[in-house]
Amino acid sequence: MPSKIFNPPDLHKPFGYSHVAEITSGKLIYTAGQVALDAAGNTVGPGDFRAQVEQVFANLGTALKAAGAGFGNIVKLNCYCVQSVDASQLAVFREIRDKHVNTANPPASTFIFISRLARPEWLIEVEAVAAVD
C-alpha cells in the first residue's frame, strides 16, 4: 500500500474518518471538487441533498477511475456543504460516503458548512486526494 491511514493514540477516536494519512510511496491524485453535475453538465437533484451527494460520489468515482485509482485509494476528503442544508443531513452524507470508502480504515476528512458554492443550486462539493502505487 502506498499509504498508511491511522489515528495517533494521543488523539480522540474519530467517527467516520481518520486523523492521519501518510503517503509512503507511489503517486498522488488530486481531484477537483465534484458537484452534482451529470456528464451533460446538468444539475442533478436541485434541492435534493441525497441525490446531489449520490451524484458527487459517482463523479468522484469517475474521476478516480480515469487516473487509475478507486475509492479504496482515497487518503483525504474535503467536503463543503452549504449552510442551508440542515446539519441533521450529515447522516445522509455519511451513509452515502460509507458505501464508497473503506469504513474500517476511513480517509482523513474535513467537512465544512459554507454560505454558498459557485452555483446557488449546488448543495455540496467534495474533493479527494488518492494515493496509488
Is this prediction's pTM over 0.75? yes
Q: Which residue has the cell 491511514?
A: 5
- Indicate the burial class of 16 (C-beta count within 10 angstroms; 0-12, 13-18, 19 or more): middle
The domain 3-132 is classified under which CATH number: 1.10.1130.10, 3.30.1330.40, 3.30.365.10, 3.40.50.1980? 3.30.1330.40
- H-state helical runs in the chain: 49-66, 90-98
For a pLDDT cut of 70, what percent of the chain falls above it? 100
Task: State the Rg of the chain over Cα.
Answer: 15
What is the pLDDT, as a whole number, of residue 2?
80
pLDDT at 123: 98
- Chain-centroid distance of CA 84 in Å reads 19
Average pLDDT of span 77-88: 97
User: How far is residue 81's CA from residue 92's CA, in Å, rounded to a whole number?
Assistant: 12
